[in-house]
Each structure stands twice: as C-alpha cells, then as structure tokens.
Amino acid sequence: MNAPKIDGSRAEASGPLTLAIDIGGTGLKASVLDSAGRMIAPRVRIDTPHPCQPETLLAALERLVAPLPPSDRISAGFPGVVRDGHILTAPHFDGPGWSNYALAQALSERFGKPARVLNDAEVQGLGIITGKGLEVVLTLGTGIGSAIFSNGRLTPHLELAHHPIHKDETYNEYVGEAARKAHGREKWNSRVRHMVDVVSSLIHFDVLYLGGGNSVHVEARDLPPNVHIASNDAGITGGVRLWQEPVWDSVSQQT
C-alpha cells in the first residue's frame, strides 16, 4: 500500500493530540485528532492481517500509523469485550493469545505514550450520541458491534453479536459481512430491518444509530424515523472522548 499524503501539522492543531485507531476484523484505520476530535490528517487504512495474534496486530498498527503526524496519546477501539484495557474476547481474530491480553499496556509500550482501549462500537458511539435518552449504536462490519448509552452514560457491555436472532443464527451470522455477500443487497437489507425490529422490542431505544463499514449498504428509506445511519469515521473521531476524564471515569465503571 502506498503511504497517503498527509496534510496539516502539529503546529496548526490544538493539543493534546490523540492517535485514534479503529481495529476491525477486516480493516485497520487511524488518524490523529486535535483536542476537539477533528482529524488533522487524512484517515489511513490497511487490511487486517489473518491470522492475527497480538504481535501481528501491533506490527500492522506500526505500519498503519507510520505516515501520520506525531501525537501525545492513543485511543483504540477493539472488536470484542474489553475490560480495564484487557481483551476478554476477540471473535474475529485467530488463536488463544488474546485471552486477557493487556492491549492498552502493549500499545503504550510499543508507541511510547499512554493508551486507552474500549470496545469499538462503544468508541464509535461516543463519537455519535447526543447524550439524551436511551441511545443504541450497532456497527455493521465483519460482525455486529453494539453499545447502549443512557443519557450519555455507557451502560454495561452487551454482546448482542453472539446471541441468536433467527433460528440458529447469531447476529454475526445473520447480518455480518459473510451474510451480506451470500444473500445480496435486497435480502441483507431485509435482515437488517428485522434486526432493528428485534432490538427495538428488546431495548425500546429512543434512537438507534447504524455505523460500521457496511452501513453504507443500508437502504435508509426503509428505516424507522428514529433509526439513523452514522458516519463510519466516528469509530476514529470518538476516540478523543476516551481522554475526557468525566467520560473515561464513567466508562471505567462499566468495563
């Protein structure tokens, strides 16, 4: 992959600057954010290597962020259950090396700056929500990520992805990337609408946001008025909020 041209500079941005990384089962994405959460450099992306043990991921992240300007700290979203900077589940990666892996510490040691890690859907949610009422974020990608916020506060993590939604299929199997490719756009969209109905009955949300890379394939005209398609960049821009202490204190109580 050719390194993208990077515009902007540290001098032009208000600090501290955050290296925000969105770790996905298919792609790794990153940018550097100013204190307001604005990207000061174009987003960079590479494919996620497979198999992907922790050391493989760290090496790939080094390649990913090499073209980006300097930063002061790191935020990362990871597609699995994250607790206190440790990875409890890594369903999209292979091998046993992820069990209780201290990813926040590993990132800090690798890049020489403090790091904070949260589930990827929760990071995306922090970049989307208004902070009013019960807001749900579902990310559509390799699998399905989920996050629930009550008046802006993150609730305990719920792994919808691994629960059954239709017959013996989990959310991941029903509306994940493999299902989208196998069934085509029309049937996959019908499945997405069914998922929205199920989640509505389960959670009774005020607003639901659909994010993730596959949200671009959702037919917005078929969605209820309280369901919105969100920018996939929120998986990066939400990273700055991990360094807002009131937010992080609230998040830490739930992870």
CB count, 10 Å around CB of 184? 10
Cα–Cα dist 134/203, whole Å: 9
53 has pLDDT over 80: yes
Cα distance between residue 106 and residue 117, in whole Å: 11
**Cβ atoms of residues 10 and 69 within 8 Å:** yes
Confidence grade of residue 5 (pLDDT, cut at 50, 70, 90): very low
State yes or no: pLDDT of 10 exceeds 70.
Answer: no
Confidence of residue 6 (pLDDT cuts 50, 70, 90): very low
Nearest to 61 by CA among 80, 79, 76: 76
Mean pLDDT of 230-245: 93
Alpha-carbon gap, residue 137 to 230, rounded angstroms: 9
95 falls in which pLDDT band (50, 70, 90)?
A: confident
pLDDT-based confidence at residue 92 (cuts at 50, 70, 90): confident
- The predicted pLDDT at position 254 comes to 65
Instruction: Tell me what percent of the residues of the chain surpass a pLDDT of 90.
Output: 81
- Identify whether 51 is preceded by a cis peptide bond (ω within 30 of 0): yes
224 vs 105, 121, 221, 252, CA distance in Å?
42, 21, 8, 33
Q: Which helix (H) or strand (E) holds 45?
A: strand 44-47
Query: How confident is the model over 194-223, as a mean pLDDT?
Result: 95
Are β-strands 134-140 and 227-229 bridged in parallel, bridged antiparallel, or unpaired?
Answer: unpaired
* Model confidence, pTM: 0.90
Stretch 50-68: mean pLDDT? 96
Measure the CA–CA gap between 3 and 104, rounded to whole angstroms: 26
* pLDDT value of position 15: 79
Mean pLDDT of 207-219: 95
Which whole-number Å values give the CA distances from 219 to 122, 163, 224, in the listed order? 24, 24, 11
Residue 128 CB neighbours (<10 A) = 21
| CA dist list (Å): 30 to 20, 197, 238 | 6, 33, 12
User: How much is the average pLDDT of 204-212?
Assistant: 96
| Predicted pLDDT of residue 255 | 61
Q: Find the mean pLDDT for residues 189-205.
A: 97
